[in-house]
Structure 1
Amino acid sequence: MSLITPEVRASAEILTENEVCKEKIKTLLKEYCLPDGLLPVENVEEFGYVKETGFTWIKQKCEIKHKYEKISKQVSFANEITFYFENCKMKKLTGVKAKELLIWIPCNEIHTESQTSDKVTFKTPTGLSKTFPKDAFVA
């Protein structure tokens, strides 16, 4: 069941043009003290953001896989990604998985310790986490 209900859509800012959506995503990431290259989405069909709650969604034409070269990590971004923005954090994240050895592990939170932190931490639903340098995710 999708978190994007008619009630949520009614209170959201919704964008539909790929380049406009990608720029808005980068702007919001910076506003929430996260690296602007954290979500390298492509072919975005719809972007929605509810300012009051921080709820955000991204719909792409298809799932993409992206390799962050500086940390040699491959990440999969589903055709629908949802999360809540908070200060220095994306929580309740869906649609993002990282490849560890031979398996894909879902990621449900991404955060930095503070606005000036130079590290980004990724958490899994099991509570395990991994921290990387922030500059590995700069666009």
Structure 2
Amino acid sequence: MTEAGSKALAISGLDCFYGEVQVLYGLDLVLNKGEVLCLFGRNGAGKTTTLKAIMGLVPAAAGSIRLDGTELTGLAAHDVPKAGVAYVPQGRRLFAEMTVTENIEIGLMTRGKGKAVRENVLDLFPLLRQRLRQRSGTLSGG
């Protein structure tokens, strides 16, 4: 169960296809606020499809995806983040020669965000606080 006011992502009976090929078969999972969930498996097991289905990028043929009781399966992909879910695909779109601080500042500037957002980012990723002066290209995984 979730704490009052906390969010839970609940997937039940999720089936997804690429054309005629079914990739997800009745997937069930629950992720409560503050938990970490790892999806792992061989190539083609459905890890990326699961994430894309949550984000509305792959349609659900059956089942339900809910965030704190709000159904996401009927939402357009651009409306899913507005409901409170984000997908950050693997990527290293950093300026490798610049510091972590400089990369964060550029991201904030391009989005018109300020100090409060910077602090929220550093709260979400506390190890970055220790590496603000480090060149981004020297970070493990970028």
| Fold match (TM-score > 0.5) | no
Higher strand share: 1
Between structure 1 and structure 2, the one with the greater Rg is 2
TM-score bracket for this pair, using the shorter chain length: under 0.3
